[in-house]
Structure 1
Amino acid sequence: METPPFPKPESLEAALALQRALAQRVVLEGSLEGVRLLAALDASHKKGKPLVAVAVLYHLERGPLFVGRGKVPEEELFPYIPGLLSFREAPAYLEALRHLPEAPEALLVDGQGIAHPRGLGIASHLGVHLDLPSVGVAKSLLFGRPEAPLPQEAGSAVRLLSPQGQPLGYAYRSRTGVRPLFVSPGHRVGLEEALAFVRRLPTRFRLPEPLRLAHLEAGRALGALD
């Protein structure tokens, strides 16, 4: 698939300003009910190595179809700063997506959507940049708080709220007894629709299967650099 160039900010101030501007373009409406073909994105990095990213092209009825890979040399990476992860990882994700034989209908990203201090986690940033529906599924909480304790049963969910009480997404228990995931809309999808989409993904372990495969592929790609 074709992807537009990704601007690299020259300073921390420029990165923050760009995040705030792009956050104003996030659309929190839309359904993923008819989506069948998605790209699941994950990345991996070890000091002294390039950052590697993978895009698993996944069909909800036929399973994984193709794996695109991208990498950015360590010396070209944007500094690691919490809340600015997209500037570090997005160039590798875009390269991985360019290797896919066809464009996905939506993005499923290992990271945050709007559950982010400035409302623009990497799922939102990529969604706006590519004008694609996107959903963030994070393994840890970056911003916000669950409004209530999360039950242990599989499929349980409670809303994530900002400090001002605005809904940001959901804490979600994908399997009984496992640690929660944090689901937030990225772009062109509503809050409840993002959760509904993640709930209908095949899930054998903690991560939805498309993201689990992306996580495994990213680890393999990093290991291949040794």
Structure 2
Amino acid sequence: MEVVNSTFVPDPSLSTAEMEDLQREIAATAVFEDDHDFDPDAVTLDGPAEQATLGELGAAGDGEDAPADRPLVAGVDQAFVGDRAVSAVVVLRGREVVERVYAVEPAEIPYVPGLLSFREGSAILSAFAELDSDPDVVFVDGSGRIHYREAGLATHVGVTLDVPTVGVAKNLLCGTPRESLDRKLPTGARVPIEADAEVETAAAGTLIGHAVQTRQYESSKQHVNPLIVSPGHRVSAETAADLVSATAGGYKLPEPTRLADKYADDVKAEI
């Protein structure tokens, strides 16, 4: 995949103020509504669950193929080796792994809340440059619209590549849930998250994503926290939540980012 909007390629040499200004431009360019060519209802998992692991992530394409008209769904995740970022991309059609690639780039700045894309974005774009597939939608391990300037990692990547993206985060960066998340939510529960005073580019009360409970323990003694799901680009908040729920596959993480996480760890061990 090639960069479409080169103006938005992350530049870690920018000042903090310049990074934040660029994020405001990205948010103004992003489309937080459904603007895509694939059928969200066709994004499902099929075939045996063990197929998704590729026999501990062996050769891509093993196992029974999913129908060719199924959407291609990519997952992106990162690992770190010292001061280098390892970005892994795994492309699925159903449970079939169609392709997987990775790239390693220097992480030139430390982690700063709200500016993650300037630390990890270069490695992600380098990985996508190695990809032969053209994903219909991309799941990114990070925030999308749920961000101080509505331009989290998923939005930054989505707008730069002009590809539909979904942000899948483990923690709430900003925004206010309509119901408390400090309780045990049942599998399938979905709590809307609204913009608040911390989200400077959206009116208070704007729906910017959901807390999505993809898995939960039956035991009352332990619980699984929900994922924080938000649109990145060209996907609505409702569709983003639907896609994550449809691809959870019995795990907390949706399969695209779960397998990207496993692949990133494998690459990290090799290098």
TM-score normalized by structure 2? Answer: 0.77
Q: Return the index of the structure with the highest Cα Rg.
A: 2
Residue 80 of structure 1: how far off its partner (Å): 1.9
Equivalence for 1:55: 89
Q: Do the aligned partners of 1:146 and 1:161 also contact (CA within 8 Å) in 2?
A: yes
Q: Which residue of 2 aligns with 1:2?
A: 2
Return the match for 1:98 from 125, 129, 133.
129
Q: Shift of residue 73 of structure 1?
A: 2.2
Q: Could you say which residue in structure 2 is the equivalent of 1:38?
A: 73
Count of residue correspondences: 221
Amino acid aligned to 1:16: E
> Counterpart in 2 of 1:224?
270
Q: Are 2:88 and 2:101, in contact at CA under 8 Å, matched by a contact in 1?
A: yes
Deviation at 1:224, TM superposition (A): 1.8
Alignment of 1:82-93 (within 5 A): 82-93=113-124
- Runs of 4 or more off by more than 4 Å in structure 1? none
Equivalence for 2:199? none
1:85-123 Cα shifts (integer Å, max 9, x gaps): 011111101111112222111111001010000010010
Counterparts of 1:7 and 1:43, CA distance in 2: 16
Match of 1:81 among 103, 108, 112: 112
User: Residue 118 of structure 1 is aligned with which of 123, 127, 149?
Assistant: 149
Distance (whole Å) between structure 2 residues aligned to residue 143 and residue 219 of structure 1: 28
* 1:157 has 2:161 as partner: no
SS where residue 17 of structure 1 aligns?
helix
1:195 and 2:241 equivalent? yes
Unaligned regions of 5+ residues in structure 2, if any?
A: 44-70, 197-203, 218-223
SS of the residue aligned with 1:45? Answer: strand
Aligned to 1:211: 257
Residue number among 18, 21, 26 corresponding to 1:17 in the alignment: 21
CA distance in 2, matches of 1:96, 1:171: 28
Which string of whole-angstrom CA distances, capped at 9 and with x for unpartnered residues, describes residues 156-195 of structure 1? Answer: 1110112122211001110124211000001111111111
Gaps of 5+ in 1: none
Contact in 2 for aligned 1:70/1:92 (Cα 8 Å) = yes
* Counterpart residue identity of residue 74, structure 2: A
The one-letter amino acid of 1:139's match is K
**Cα RMSD after superposing both structures:** 1.7
Q: Does 1:169 align with 2:215?
A: no
Name the counterpart of 1:26. 30
Task: Assess if the C-alpha contact under 8 Å between 2:170 and 2:228 holds in 1.
Answer: yes
Q: What SS is found at the alignment partner of 1:82?
A: coil
SS of the equivalent of 1:24 reads helix
TM-score (norm: length of structure 1): 0.91
Distance 1:200 1:59 in 2: 13
Q: Matched residues, percent identical?
A: 38
User: 1:180 matched to which residue of 2?
Assistant: 226
